[in-house]
Amino acid sequence: MKRTVISSYSTRKALIRFFQYLVLIIATILIFVPIVILLFGSLKTTGQMYSEPYTIPNPPHWDNIISIITSPTFWNLMKNSIFVTIITTTGAVMISAMVSFVLARLRFRGKNFVFNLFTIGMMFPINVAILPVYLVLIQLDKLGFNLVDSLTGVIMVQIAFQLSGNIMILSSFFTSVPTEIQDSAYIDGCSNFDFFWRIMLPLVKPALAAVASLIIIASWNDLLVPLIVLNSNELWTLPLGTMQFQGQWSQDLALISAFVTLSAIPTVIFYFFAEKQIVSGITAGSVKG
Amino acid sequence: MFKKIFTLISLVLIATFVLTACGPAAEEVTEPPVGEEVEAEEEEVVIEWWHISTKDPALSDWQKMADDFMAMHENVTINITVLENEAFKTKLNTDLQSGSVPDIFQSWGGSGLAEQAEAGLLLDISEYLDADGGAWRNSFAPGALAVFSVDGKNYGVPWDMGMVSCWYNKDLFDQAGIDAPPETWEEFLTDVQLLKDAGITPIALGEKDTWTGMHIWSYLVTRIGGEAAFNAAAYGSGSFADPAFVQAGEELMRLIEMEPFQPGFLGATHDEMQATFGNGEAAILIGGQWSPSVQAANSADGVGVANLGMFNFPAVEGGAGVVTDAMGGGNGFAVGKDAEPEAVEFVKYLTNVENQTIIAASGTGIPVVNGAEAGLTDPNMLLVQQGFAAAEYFQLYYDQILPPVLAGTINDATAKLYAQTATPEEVAQEIANVAAEQ
Amino acid sequence: MRHLNASKLNLQSDKSPTLRPRKKETLFIILFLLPALVLFLLFVIYPIFRSIFFSTFDWNGLGPATNNIGLGNYKKIFTDQVFLKSMLNVFIIIILSLGLQLPLALILSVLVGRDLPGRNLFRTMFFLPYVISEVNTAIMWTLLFNANPDRGLLNAVIVLLGFNPIGWLADSKIVLMSVFFVLTWKYFGFHMLLFLTGIQNIPLELEEAARIDGANGFQNFFFIILPLLSRTIRTSVYMSVLGSIQQFTIIWVMTGGGPVNASETMATYMYRYGIVRHQLGYGSAVAIIMFLFCLIFSLLYQRLTRKPDYLTGL
C-alpha cells in the first residue's frame, strides 16, 4: 500500500517535471530566436543581414568582431561604460536603500508625502524631461560644478531617474522584514544606522541584487543622457559607439550586431552571478512569510 | 467643484511662472559679451565642430582637413564631435534650445536653418562671402548657396548637393520587354503594368520612413504645378489644397491602385527598400544620389544591381514643370552665433576647390564649388551631377524647405494615400489647414 | 510602534531620556533622505515644473518663448483625433499587458520554481531579453517581422505551415499586436525577476506543509503562492501600467507609430508632434498629460488597494 502511494507520487512528479521542462524549453526557444539572429548577424556582412537575416552565417564573417575588438575606441567606450555603470549602480542602490529603510522602518511626520513625492519620478520619464534636465546641468555647470561634458553629470542624472522605481521595490522588501527583528535589535542596543547596515542590508540582499541588476541594465543601455551631456568622444559610452556604424542614409547592421553582442557580454556575465545572489540570499527561516 | 479645480490649476500655473521666471533665452543673456577683446594675433581659439559623416572616407577626410588647418593656424584648436544623423538632431536641438550653439555644424539649409537664424542662434557670414569682390560667394553654384540663405543673408554654406531620380534595373526592364526608360507619367504607368504582367515587382518603397513616399508625391506636384504652384502655396496667396496638389494625389493614387510596391511596403524601412531593389526583387527605386551605394551595401552579395540605370522623374502631360526640373537637397555647414572669425575661415577652407575635389573623388558628396566636379569618378554620381546642373528649376525637398510642422504634416498625410485611408482632396486639405495655422 | 521604538532606544542613551533619541532620529532621517531629495528635486521635480511652464507656449524651442497661449495646447491635444487614437492604443496595450504578459511571467516563474534542476540556466535565459537595449530589440524584431517570407523568419514559418504571409508591421489591423508581442518578449523577464524574488520569500515549509495536507500544484498556486505574492503582483501591475503609458523606443523604431497612426501611443505622439515637428510647447503639454494620467492612475490604484504598498506588512 505504502509502496504504491510512493510510486504513483513519483510518477506524478515525473510527469509534472516533464511538463515543466516542456513549457520552459518552448519558452526558451521563442526567447532565443531574436538573440540568435543577433549572434548570426554579428558574423555576417550587412548585405547578408538585410537580405537573408535568418540563415546560418556560412562561412562566418569574423571581420566584424575582429575589427571591433582590435580598435582602441571600443575599449575606451567599454572603460567609460564600466565606470559610469559601477558608480551609478552603487550610488543609486545606496541612496534608494537609505530612503527605503527610512520610509519602511521609521515613523515621522510627512512620511506619506515623501513617499508620494518619490513615486512621482516614475510618472515623468527622462525622455520627456531631457531639455529641462539639461538646463539644470548647464546652470549647475555655471555655478562651478563640472557637469556638462563630464561623466559626473551623466551619473547624477542617471541616479536621479533610477530612484523612484527602486525605492518602490526596495521599501516593499524592507517592510517585509518582521518587526520582531527590529525590536530585538534595538533591545540589543543597535542604533538605527547599525540596524540598517548590519541587519537590514544583509537580510534584503536578494532584493538589492535584483535592484542592482535593473540599474546596471538601464545605465549600461542608456543612450539619451550620455548623448546630450557628453561632447568629447573620449568620454563616450558604449551605446554612443553604435553611431560609428550609422550613416545618413544607411546603417551597417552587421557591424552594429557585432558591436551590440560584444557590448552586452559584461551585463550578461554580471547577471549570471547576480542571479545566484537574488535567489539564494534569503534563508527561509529569517524572514516571516 | 469646478471652481476648486480652476483655482488649483491657476495656483499651479502661478507657482510655475514664479519658479521659472527666467526662460531659457534669458539665462544666456547673463553671459557677459566679450567686451574689450584685444585683437591679439596669437589668441587661442577653440572651434567646436559637429558633423555627421560617421564613416570613412569622409570621416578621415574631414579629420585631415581639420589637422591641416590647425597646422596652418597654430592658435586654433578644432574639437570634432561626430554624431549619427538622428542622434545629431536630438543633441543639436537640445543644445540650441538651451541657447548654446556649436561653432560649425551640419545643416540641410532651408527652413531648419531659417528657424535657427530667426532665433538669433546663427552668425551672418555674408560679409565673408562678399570679401575680395565676392570671391568665396562666386565659387559656389548659386542655387546651392541659396539653400543656406535667409532673406538674402547667408548663415552657412553647402558642401554637397544631390537630387532624387528614378534608378532602375536594366535586366528586369529587358525581361518585361521595355526597351527605353519612360519619359512621361503615362509611359511610366504603362511600364509599371508591363513589369507587373511579367511577374516583377515594379517599385521598391519603404513607407515606414514616410519621406520615401512623400518624394514621389512632391515630385508629381513639381511636375504638375511647377515652381509657380509651390511658391504660391508656400509663400503667396495660394494654398496646399490648390489643384496642382490635389491632382498630384490623384495621379499618385492611379499608381498606388496598380499595387506596384513590394508586399509589406507600408511597414518597410528605407534600408529594406534599398535591399529589395539591390537584390533585384523590384525594378525601380525612386531615391537620391545615395541610392546606388546603399542598394549595393544592403544587397546579399554586396554588389547590388548589375545593370543599373537612371532616368529623370517622368513629366506629366500638360503639367507646368518640365522633365529636367530637379527635386533634391544636400549637406552644408551652418555657423553658430558665437563663432570666431577663425571658424568662418575654416569653413571657407573646407569648401575650397581642393577640398571639394577630395569630397568628390571619394564619393562622399557631389561638389557645389565650380571646378571640383572634375573630381567625380563614380558614373552614377556624374549622372546626378549632370541632372542637377541641367535643372532650370531646383525644388528643395519639401521636408527641408518647409517648416518642420508642415514638413511633418506632409510626410504623415501623404502616407495616408499609400495606406489608402484618405482621398487626395483630404490629404491636400489637411496640409493646407496646418499651413494656414502657421 | 513609535512608543515601542522610542522606549527601546532609551535603553542605549543614559542622558536626557526623552529628547536625545528623537532628535537623533530626526537627524538620522534627514541625513538618509537628503542625497536622494537633492538629486530628485533638481533633476526630476524642477523639470516637471519647467515643462508645465513650456506647455503654455506656442514655441518651437528656439530663442525666447514669447507666445503664451495658456491652455491652448491642451485644448488642441484633446480635440485631435490622432491623440485620442493613441490613448486608445495605450489602453489596449495596458489591458493586454495585465491580461497576458503578467500572467505569463507569473506562470513561468512558478514553473521555474525553486527546486527544478537547471533552474538557474532558465532564469538567466529568460532575463536575457531585458538585458538587450530597446533600440536593438526593435531592430532585431523588425528583421523577423519582414513581410517577405524569404527574409522574415515569422512569415517563413507561416508559409511553411501553408498560410499566406502576414504584414506584421504593414497591416494596420495587426501592427499593434506585433508591437505588443515584442513588448512582452522584452519585459516579461523584468516581471519574472520581481516574482522570482517574491517567491523566494515564501517559506518552503509552507508549501511542503500544504503538499503533505494533500494540496496539488494548482491549489498550491492559488491558495499559497498567489496570496503571498500579492504585494509583488501589485508592484508589478503598477510598473506595467506606468511602463505601458510611457513606452516609446521600441514602437518608434519598429513602426514610427504607423502605418498611419495604427500603432501610435501617447509617447510616439509626443515625439512626432513635439520633437519632429519642432513644437516644444505642444510636446511639453503632451508630456504633462501623460504625467497626469500616471498620477491619476497612481492615486486610484492606491485608493483601490487601500494602503500605500509600503505600509502593508506581510
Q: Do A198 and A102 share a structural domain?
A: yes
On average, the pLDDT of chain B sits at 89
- CA distances for B328 relative to A91, B411, C139, angstroms: 51, 16, 29
- pLDDT value, residue B35: 42
Q: Do A198 and A277 share a structural domain?
A: yes
Q: Which tops the pLDDT comparison, A268 or B315? A: B315
- Look up residue B394 and give its DSSP letter: E
On average, the pLDDT of chain A sits at 86
In a domain, A125, yes or no: yes
* Per-domain boundaries in chain B: 45-162+329-394, 165-327+398-437
Rg, Å, chain A Cα set: 24
In a domain, A243, yes or no: yes
- pLDDT value, residue A10: 78
**Inter-chain residue contact C8 with A131, CB threshold 8 Å:** no
Amino acid type, B169: N
Q: Which cell goes with B360?
A: 568628390
Q: Which tops the pLDDT comparison, C304 or B319? A: B319
3-state secondary structure of B392: coil
pLDDT in tens, A5-64: 556 767 877 888 888 899 999 999 989 888 888 888 889 888 888 888 788 888 888 989
CA distance B314 to B27: 52
Residues ≥6 apart with Cβ < 8 Å to B288: A249, B162, B163, B164, B165, B328
**Inter-chain residue contact A272 with C267, CB threshold 8 Å:** no
Please tell me which chains touch C, using 3 or more CB pairs under 8 Å as the contact test: A, B
Q: Do A276 and A200 share a structural domain?
A: yes
In a domain, A58, yes or no: no
- pLDDT value, residue A280: 54
In contact, C71 and A153? CB cutoff 8 Å: no
Flag whether pLDDT at B213 surpasses 70: yes
Out of A248, A251, A253, closest to residue B52 by CB:
A248
- pLDDT value, residue B340: 94
DSSP B114-134: HHHHHTT-B---HHHHHHHHH
In contact, B376 and B361? CB cutoff 8 Å: yes
In contact, B193 and C243? CB cutoff 8 Å: no
In a domain, A12, yes or no: yes
Nearest to C55 by CA among C41, C42, C37, C67: C67
Dihedral sign of CA atoms C137, C143, C146, C152 in order: negative
Q: Do A282 and A202 share a structural domain?
A: yes
List of chain A residues with pLDDT < 70:
1-7, 9, 278-289
Q: Do A76 and A35 share a structural domain?
A: no
Out of C148, C258, C275, closest to residue B415 by CB:
C258
3-state secondary structure of B332: strand
In a domain, A89, yes or no: yes
Rg, Å, chain B Cα set: 24
CA distance B192 to B172: 11
Rg, Å, chain C Cα set: 25
Q: Which tops the pLDDT comparison, B153 or B10? A: B153
- CA distances for A163 relative to A94, C27, C245, angstroms: 10, 21, 19
CB of C245 within 8 Å of any CB in chain B? Answer: no
In contact, B337 and B121? CB cutoff 8 Å: yes
Q: Could you tell me the end-to-end alpha-carbon distance of chain B, in angstroms, rounded to an integer? A: 37
CATH H-level superfamily of B165-327+398-437: Periplasmic binding protein-like II (3.40.190.10)
Q: Do A9 and A76 share a structural domain?
A: no
Walk across the sheet containing B284-287 and list its strands.
Answer: B203-204, B284-287, B165-169, B308-311
**Inter-chain residue contact A38 with C136, CB threshold 8 Å:** yes
Upstream peptide bond of A59 is cis (omega within 30 degrees of 0): yes
DSSP B415-434: HHHHHT-S-HHHHHHHHHHH
Q: Which tops the pLDDT comparison, B42 or B394? A: B394
- pLDDT value, residue A37: 86
Nearest to B266 by CA among B201, B203, B207: B207
The C-alpha of A67 sits at a distance from chain C's nearest C-alpha, in angstroms, of 20
Upstream peptide bond of B243 is cis (omega within 30 degrees of 0): no
ipTM exceeding cut-off 0.90 for this assembly:
no
Q: Which helix (H) or strand (E) holds A169?
A: helix A151-176
Number of CB pairs < 8 Å for B and C?
A: 123
Amino acid type, B17: F
- Look up residue B366 and give its DSSP letter: -
Q: Which cell goes with A213?
A: 541588476
Q: What is the mean pLDDT of residues B359-385?
A: 89
- pLDDT value, residue C21: 52
In contact, B414 and B408? CB cutoff 8 Å: no
- Look up residue A233 and give its DSSP letter: G
- pLDDT value, residue A184: 85
Q: Which helix (H) or strand (E) holds B287?
A: strand B284-287
Nearest to C150 by CA among B276, A256, B278, A252: B276
- pLDDT value, residue C124: 83
**How many percent of chain B have pLDDT more than 70?**
90
Q: Which helix (H) or strand (E) holds C101?
A: none
Question: What CATH number should be reported for the domain whose range is B45-162+329-394?
Answer: 3.40.190.10
At which residue does the C-alpha cell 526623552 appear?
A: C18
- Give CB contacts under 8 A, 24+ apart, made by A108-111: A108/C25, A108/C26, A108/C29
- ∠ CA(B84), CA(B85), CA(B86), 5° rounding? 100
- CA distances for B389 relative to B350, B368, B394, angstroms: 22, 10, 10
pLDDT in tens, C157-200: 999 999 999 999 999 999 999 999 999 999 998 898 888 877 87
The C-alpha of C242 sits at a distance from chain A's nearest C-alpha, in angstroms, of 7
Q: Do A163 and A31 share a structural domain?
A: no
DSSP B9-66: HHHHHHHHHHHT-S-HHHHHHTSPP--S----TT--EEEEEEE---STTHHHHHHHHH
Interface test with A, best of C10, C136, C298 (most A CBs within 10 A): C136
pLDDT in tens, C105-152: 999 988 887 778 888 788 888 888 988 888 889 988 988 998 888 888
Q: Do A10 and A153 share a structural domain?
A: no
Q: Could you tell me the end-to-end alpha-carbon distance of chain A, in angstroms, rounded to an integer? A: 36
CA distance B286 to C258: 21
CA distance C29 to C8: 18
Beta bridge partners of B165: B287
Q: Do A19 and A158 share a structural domain?
A: no
Q: Do A89 and A19 share a structural domain?
A: no
Counting Cβ atoms within 10 Å, is residue C304 exposed (0-12), middle (13-18) or buried (19+)? exposed
pLDDT in tens, C238-293: 989 999 999 999 999 999 998 999 999 999 999 999 888 999 999 999 999 999 99
**Options 1.10.3720.10, 3.40.50.2300, 3.40.50.1970, 3.30.2130.10; CATH of C72-311:** 1.10.3720.10
- pLDDT value, residue C78: 96
CA distance B83 to B311: 33
- pLDDT value, residue C116: 80
Domain count within chain A: 2
**Inter-chain residue contact B121 with C63, CB threshold 8 Å:** yes
Residues ≥6 apart with Cβ < 8 Å to A20: C111, C113, C116
Q: Which cell goes with B373?
A: 566636379
Interface test with B, best of C169, C171, C278, C288 (most B CBs within 10 A): C278
The C-alpha of B431 sits at a distance from chain C's nearest C-alpha, in angstroms, of 14
In a domain, A96, yes or no: yes
In contact, C199 and C109? CB cutoff 8 Å: yes
- pLDDT value, residue A6: 56
**Inter-chain residue contact C273 with B26, CB threshold 8 Å:** no
Fold identical between B45-162+329-394 and B165-327+398-437?
yes
CB proximity under 8 Å: B 23-82 to A: 24, 27, 30, 48, 52-55, 79-82
CA distance C129 to C132: 5
CA distance C108 to B275: 39
In contact, A28 and C125? CB cutoff 8 Å: yes
Q: What is the mean pLDDT of residues B206-225?
A: 96
- Look up residue A277 and give its DSSP letter: H
Interface test with B, best of A45, A51, A143 (most B CBs within 10 A): A51
In a domain, A156, yes or no: yes
Among B91-100, B323-332, C44-53, C198-207, the minimum mean pLDDT is found in C198-207
Q: Do A30 and A122 share a structural domain?
A: no
Query: How far does CA B76 lie from the centroid of its chain?
Result: 31
- pLDDT value, residue C6: 37
**How many percent of chain B have pLDDT more than 90?**
77
**Torsion, CA C66, CA C69, CA C70, CA C72, rounded to 10:** -150
**Inter-chain residue contact C144 with A115, CB threshold 8 Å:** no
**Inter-chain residue contact B91 with A228, CB threshold 8 Å:** yes
In contact, A133 and A227? CB cutoff 8 Å: no
| Residue-range definition of the domain harbouring residue A178 | 72-247+264-286
pLDDT in tens, C69-106: 999 999 999 999 999 999 999 999 999 999 999 999 99
- pLDDT value, residue C302: 82
Half-sphere exposure of A239 (CA within 13 A, CB side): 21
The C-alpha of A189 sits at a distance from chain C's nearest C-alpha, in angstroms, of 6
- CA distances for A252 relative to A47, B151, B267, angstroms: 9, 40, 20
CA distance C25 to C12: 13
Q: Do A207 and A93 share a structural domain?
A: yes
